[in-house]
Amino acid sequence: MRVLVIDDDVELCSLLKEYLQREDYNVKCVYDGRQGLDEARQGGYDLIILDVMLPGMDGFEILKRLRAESRAPVLMLTARGEDVDRIIGLELGADDYLAKPFNPRELLARIKAILRRSEGTVNRGRIEVNGVSLDPATRQVHTDGQPVELTTLEFDILEQLMRSAGRELSRDALMESLYGRKASPFDRSIDMHVSHLRKKIAGDRIKTIRGVGYQFVKSPENGAQT
């Protein structure tokens, strides 16, 4: 697995590279924002670890430009306590985030959770519900016959919802399945990604079950409530 780390903290990059290489990851570090974007655009990386504060170009701008042309998984590193950074990162399409300073074992767990989602799609069959078709093998989604561009995590959430169409899925269940951890009381990442999905595939297909989570509507006549 190839991992690109874009962070101007040379010492941290060195530690991450040493730690992840022991886990059999092929790691490349870039310390400047613009150079990091150029490297990411070359493709071939299974995961990008992206810091927010960078010289040359900040992490938000890098993520924004990447998402215009790539669905490569991105894990953002944010400053401790900077909730606004996490929110912006998720809005721009980050797959997950981790606050500095962090335990390398937690970072590894986040990486494995993201990669497990990406790797596990090829053996699952294509599904079609309420005008939306989803193909895990190609990671393509069509709504009413039209292609829809989704981020990695948006795709994974949509697949979970569609495979449970007509049934309620709790936020906790989605967090456990997609992130490999329980949702904290203030973690709104699932809600934000679902909000993005609604804009892309027509929101009436995803119903909010108050106090529980979400439900993918099986057919238009079922309606949706928010």
Q: For tokens 């990091």, what's the residue?
A: 36
Summarize pLDDT for 97-118 with one digit per residue, the tens.
Answer: 898 989 999 999 999 888 877 6
Summarize pLDDT for 55-90 with one digit per residue, the tens.
Answer: 999 999 999 999 888 878 899 998 766 678 878 888
Q: Are residues 60 and 37 in the same domain?
A: yes
Residues of the chain with pLDDT under 50: 122, 224-226
Q: Are residues 83 and 136 in the same domain?
A: no
Q: Which two tokens stand for residue 53?
A: 């504060």
Residue 17: φ, ψ to 5°? -60, -45
Q: What is the number of residues in the chain?
A: 226
Q: Assign residue 212 the CATH number of its domain.
A: 1.10.10.10
Query: Could you tell me the CA-to-CA distances from 180 to 5, 73, 144, 175, 177 in Å, in that order?
Result: 22, 16, 32, 7, 6
Q: Assign residue 44 the CATH number of its domain.
A: 3.40.50.2300
Q: Are residues 138 and 194 in the same domain?
A: yes
Question: Where does a domain end: 119, 141, 157?
Answer: 119
Residue 90: φ, ψ to 5°? -65, -40
pLDDT for residue 47: 94
